[in-house]
């Protein structure tokens, strides 16, 4: 038990050191008009004053998302699940940034496995939504995927903010994934949603293709082998794709 504890502590300290050394990369954002999804430095964006969660690269993109992206109906609902300035009472900006970095680190470690399980899920349950979950309630992360439908029913996770976030994933055309963080707090489990964005739908498109072409003779190993070149480089490391948090 102590060996595992010290191993986890050492890993977190390394993540923190990397986090502190890459301040500039933490200031990258993606435009929350999903038809744009431009990546740039945070200073190139304006934050929605209503929800304090969404960023836009121009007034035109803000207007488009307001009129056609559902933000006009949803902006007042944000403030509990997304890691925004609205939760400053509980978590500082630095703490929120580190939590994003921790999730991204754990996502990259589990990426091939998660994408393979997602593809298998897409085969078994066509059209049903899913998300990645990071359970930190016991310390070391337990990373897996869950069905949105089942999760809603079991956890009663059905408020307007969650529904809005869930609706944006398919609207992104495969360029946004939903990542839910579960953390221990004295009054019970606290959950946050961290959407991770990418500038391409290449992997998602291949997942859809594999799901549509799946046959009984193809197993999880087949899926892993097919996704491997898109996710990992020749040295067995995860590709450094252009991706960041919404």
pLDDT at 15: 66
pLDDT at 239: 56
Q: What is the dihedral of CA 35, 25, 180, 67, to 10 degrees?
A: -20
pLDDT at 68: 93
- 93-124 vs 2-21: helix crossing angle, rounded to 10: 110
Averaged over successive runs of 10 residues, the pLDDT of the chain (246 residues) comes to 53 67 67 90 91 94 95 89 72 82 90 95 94 90 92 79 92 93 86 90 94 88 92 61 55
pLDDT at 3: 52
- 93-124 vs 202-213: helix crossing angle, rounded to 10: 20
For residues 118 and 101, the answer to whether their CB atoms sit within 8 Å is: no
pLDDT at 6: 43
Report d(CA 83, CA 97) in Å as an integer.
9
pLDDT at 82: 86
151: CB partners within 8 A, 6+ apart? 131, 157
pLDDT at 106: 92
pLDDT at 181: 93
pLDDT at 28: 79
3-state secondary structure of 235: coil
Question: What pTM was computed for the model?
Answer: 0.85
Burial environment of residue 176 by CB neighbours within 10 A (0 to 12, 13 to 18, 19 or more): buried
């Amino acid at each position: 038990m102590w060996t595992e504890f010290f191993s986890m502590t050492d890993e977190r300290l390394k993540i923190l050191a990397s986090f502190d050394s890459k301040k500039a990369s933490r200031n990258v954002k993606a435009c929350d008009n999903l038809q744009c999804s431009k990546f740039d430095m945070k200073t190139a964006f304006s934050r929605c004053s209503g929800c304090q969660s969404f960023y836009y690269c121009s007034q035109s993109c803000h207007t488009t998302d307001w009129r056609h992206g559902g933000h006009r109906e949803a902006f007042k609902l944000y403030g509990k699940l997304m890691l925004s300035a609205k939760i400053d009472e509980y978590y500082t900006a630095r703490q929120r940034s580190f939590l994003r970095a921790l999730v991204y680190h754990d996502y990259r470690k589990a990426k091939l496995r998660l994408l393979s399980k997602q593809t298998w899920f897409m085969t078994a349950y066509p059209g049903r939504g899913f998300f990645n979950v990071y359970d930190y309630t016991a310390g070391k992360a337990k990373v897996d995927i869950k069905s949105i439908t089942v999760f809603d029913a079991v956890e009663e996770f059905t408020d307007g903010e969650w529904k809005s976030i869930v609706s944006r994933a398919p609207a992104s055309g495969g360029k946004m994934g939903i990542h839910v963080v579960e953390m221990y707090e004295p009054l019970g489990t606290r959950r946050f949603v961290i959407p991770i964005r990418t500038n391409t739908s290449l992997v998602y498109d291949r997942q859809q293709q594999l799901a549509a072409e799946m046959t009984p003779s193809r197993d999880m190993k087949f899926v892993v082998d097919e996704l491997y070149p898109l996710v990992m480089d020749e040295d067995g490391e995860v590709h450094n794709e252009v991706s960041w948090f919404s």
